[in-house]
Chains A and B, each alone.
Chain A
Amino acid sequence: MTTALPTAPPPPSLTAVDGLTTNPYGLTPEQFEQLGTELDAIRGRVLADRGQRDADYIRGVIRAQRGLEVAGRGLLWAGVFPPAWLAGTAALSLSKILDNMEIGHNVMHGQYEWMNDPKLSGKQFEWDTACPADQWRHSHNYMHHTHTNIVGKDRDIGYGVLRMSEEQPWKPYYLGNPLWAALLATFFEYGVALHDLEVERIAEGEITLADKRELLKGIGTKVRGQALKDYVLFPALSGPLFVFPLAGNATANIVRNLWSFTIIFCGHFPEGTHEFSEEETANETRGQWYHRQLLGSANLSGGRLFHILSGNLSFQIEHHLFPDLPANRYGEISVEVREICERYGLPYNVGPLGRQFGSVVKKIGRLALPDSPGTFARGVGAGLGGAVKRGLSLVKRAPLPGLGTRTS
Chain B
Amino acid sequence: MPKLAIRPRIRPRLGVLEAAATPHGLDSYLEQVNPLLVTGECRAEVVAAERGTEESVTLTMRPNRAWRRFRAGQFVNVAVEIDGVRHQRCYSPASPEGRNATVEITTKRHPEGLVSNFLVERAQPGMVVGLSQAEGDFQLPDPRPDSILLIGGGSGITPLMAILRTLLGEGYDRPVALIYYAPDAERCIYHGELERLAAAHPNFQLRRSYTRAPGTGELDGHFSPLHLPQSDPDFSAAETFACGPPALLDAVRGTWRNGLEHRLHVESFVPPSFVPVGEPGEGQIRFADSAVEVTNSGESLLSQAEAAGLAPEYGCRMGICHTCTCRKRSGTHKNLLTGEVSSAPDEEIQLCVSAALGDLTVEL
The distance from the CB of B38 to the nearest CB of chain A, in whole angstroms, is 10
The distance from the CB of B138 to the nearest CB of chain A, in whole angstroms, is 26
In the assembled complex, B28 has its CB within 8 A of some CB on chain A: yes
The distance from the CB of A214 to the nearest CB of chain B, in whole angstroms, is 15
B325 near A70: Cβ-Cβ < 8 Å: no
The distance from the CB of A22 to the nearest CB of chain B, in whole angstroms, is 18
In the assembled complex, A226 has its CB within 8 A of some CB on chain B: yes
Question: From A118, which residue of chain B is reached at the shortest CB distance?
Answer: B6
In the assembled complex, A363 has its CB within 8 A of some CB on chain B: no
Give Cα A146 to B22, complex, Å: 30
For window 310-326 of B, CB contacts with A under 8 Å fall at: 315-316, 318-323, 325
The distance from the CB of A115 to the nearest CB of chain B, in whole angstroms, is 6
For window 336-364 of B, CB contacts with A under 8 Å fall at: 338, 340, 344, 346-348, 350
Give Cα A137 to B323, complex, Å: 7
In the assembled complex, B270 has its CB within 8 A of some CB on chain A: no
- Name the segment of A43-51, A205-213, A251-259 touching the other chain: A43-51
In the assembled complex, B109 has its CB within 8 A of some CB on chain A: no
Give Cα A161 to B262, complex, Å: 69
Given A70-B29, A225-B19, A141 contacting B83 (CB threshold 8 A): no
Give Cα A142 to B316, complex, Å: 6
In the assembled complex, A384 has its CB within 8 A of some CB on chain B: no
B323 near A228: Cβ-Cβ < 8 Å: no
Residues of A within 8 A of B22 (CB): 225-226, 228-229
Give Cα A37 to B338, complex, Å: 12
Question: From A99, which residue of chain B is reached at the shortest CB distance?
Answer: B24
Given A66-B32, A126-B24, A146 contacting B325 (CB threshold 8 A): no
Residues of A within 8 A of B321 (CB): 110, 137, 141-142, 145-146, 323
In the assembled complex, B86 has its CB within 8 A of some CB on chain A: yes
For window 211-231 of A, CB contacts with B under 8 Å fall at: 222, 225-226, 228-229
Residue-wise interface mask of B (1-22) relative to A, using a CB-CB cutoff of 8 A (1 in contact, 0 not): 0000010000000001001101
In the assembled complex, B81 has its CB within 8 A of some CB on chain A: yes
For window 117-142 of A, CB contacts with B under 8 Å fall at: 117-119, 121-123, 126-128, 133, 137-138, 141-142
Residues of A within 8 A of B23 (CB): 126-128, 133, 222, 225-226
Give Cα A142 to B352, complex, Å: 13
In the assembled complex, B87 has its CB within 8 A of some CB on chain A: yes
In the assembled complex, B226 has its CB within 8 A of some CB on chain A: no
For window 69-102 of B, CB contacts with A under 8 Å fall at: 81, 83-87
Give Cα A47 to B206, complex, Å: 53
Give Cα A48 to B28, complex, Å: 29
A234 near B316: Cβ-Cβ < 8 Å: no
Residues of A within 8 A of B348 (CB): 113, 116, 121
A51 near B322: Cβ-Cβ < 8 Å: no
The distance from the CB of A318 to the nearest CB of chain B, in whole angstroms, is 14
Question: From B21, which residue of chain A is reached at the shortest CB distance?
Answer: A229
Given A115-B85, A126-B24, A141 contacting B19 (CB threshold 8 A): no
Residues of B within 8 A of A274 (CB): none
Question: From A143, which residue of chain B is reached at the shortest CB distance?
Answer: B315
In the assembled complex, A372 has its CB within 8 A of some CB on chain B: no
Give Cα A69 to B344, complex, Å: 37
- The majority secondary structure among interface residues of chain A is helix
The distance from the CB of A138 to the nearest CB of chain B, in whole angstroms, is 7
Give Cα A53 to B84, complex, Å: 7
Residues of A within 8 A of B320 (CB): 141, 145-146, 323-324
A123 near B85: Cβ-Cβ < 8 Å: no
Residues of B within 8 A of A118 (CB): 6
Question: From B82, which residue of chain A is reached at the shortest CB distance?
Answer: A52
Question: From B84, which residue of chain A is reached at the shortest CB distance?
Answer: A55
Residues of B within 8 A of A117 (CB): 81, 86
In the assembled complex, A67 has its CB within 8 A of some CB on chain B: yes
A122 near B19: Cβ-Cβ < 8 Å: no
A146 near B338: Cβ-Cβ < 8 Å: no
A233 near B19: Cβ-Cβ < 8 Å: yes
The residue from B20, B28, B315, B319 contacting A138, defined by CB atoms under 8 A apart = B315
The distance from the CB of B356 to the nearest CB of chain A, in whole angstroms, is 19
Residues of A within 8 A of B87 (CB): 116
Which has the most chain B C-beta neighbours within 10 Å: A44, A54, A146? A146
A142 near B315: Cβ-Cβ < 8 Å: yes
The distance from the CB of B32 to the nearest CB of chain A, in whole angstroms, is 5
Residue-wise interface mask of A (276-289) relative to B, using a CB-CB cutoff of 8 A (1 in contact, 0 not): 00000000001000
In the assembled complex, A307 has its CB within 8 A of some CB on chain B: no
The distance from the CB of A30 to the nearest CB of chain B, in whole angstroms, is 22
In the assembled complex, A406 has its CB within 8 A of some CB on chain B: no
For window 140-180 of B, CB contacts with A under 8 Å fall at: none
Residues of B within 8 A of A138 (CB): 315, 323
A123 near B83: Cβ-Cβ < 8 Å: no
Give Cα A226 to B319, complex, Å: 32
A51 near B84: Cβ-Cβ < 8 Å: yes
Residue-wise interface mask of B (100-115) relative to A, using a CB-CB cutoff of 8 A (1 in contact, 0 not): 0000000000000000
Residues of B within 8 A of A110 (CB): 321-322, 325, 350
Question: From A111, which residue of chain B is reached at the shortest CB distance?
Answer: B322
Give Cα A39 to B201, complex, Å: 70
In the assembled complex, A63 has its CB within 8 A of some CB on chain B: yes
Residues of B within 8 A of A268 (CB): none
Give Cα A284 to B221, complex, Å: 67
The distance from the CB of B362 to the nearest CB of chain A, in whole angstroms, is 14
Residues of B within 8 A of A126 (CB): 23-24
In the assembled complex, A105 has its CB within 8 A of some CB on chain B: no
Residues of A within 8 A of B346 (CB): 116
Given A66-B29, A146-B321, A233 contacting B86 (CB threshold 8 A): no
The distance from the CB of A219 to the nearest CB of chain B, in whole angstroms, is 14
B84 near A50: Cβ-Cβ < 8 Å: yes
Give Cα A123 to B321, complex, Å: 11
In the assembled complex, A114 has its CB within 8 A of some CB on chain B: yes
For window 21-50 of B, CB contacts with A under 8 Å fall at: 22-24, 28-29, 32
26 contacts between A and B (CB under 8 A): A48-B338, A54-B84, A66-B28, A70-B29, A114-B85, A115-B81, A116-B86, A116-B348, A121-B325, A122-B322, A126-B24, A127-B23, A128-B23, A133-B23, A137-B322, A141-B315, A141-B320, A142-B323, A145-B316, A146-B318, A222-B23, A228-B19, A228-B22, A233-B16, A233-B20, A324-B320
11 more contacts with CB within 8 A, not counting A110-B325, A119-B28, are: A110-B321, A116-B86, A116-B344, A123-B325, A127-B23, A137-B321, A142-B315, A142-B316, A226-B23, A233-B20, A234-B20
Nearest first, the 5 closest Cβ-Cβ pairs linking A and B are A142-B315, A55-B84, A110-B322, A126-B23, A141-B321
Give residues in A with beta carbon < 8 Å to B: 44, 47-48, 50-56, 62-63, 66-67, 70, 109-110, 113-119, 121-123, 126-128, 133, 137-138, 141-142, 145-146, 222, 225-226, 228-229, 233-234, 286, 323-324
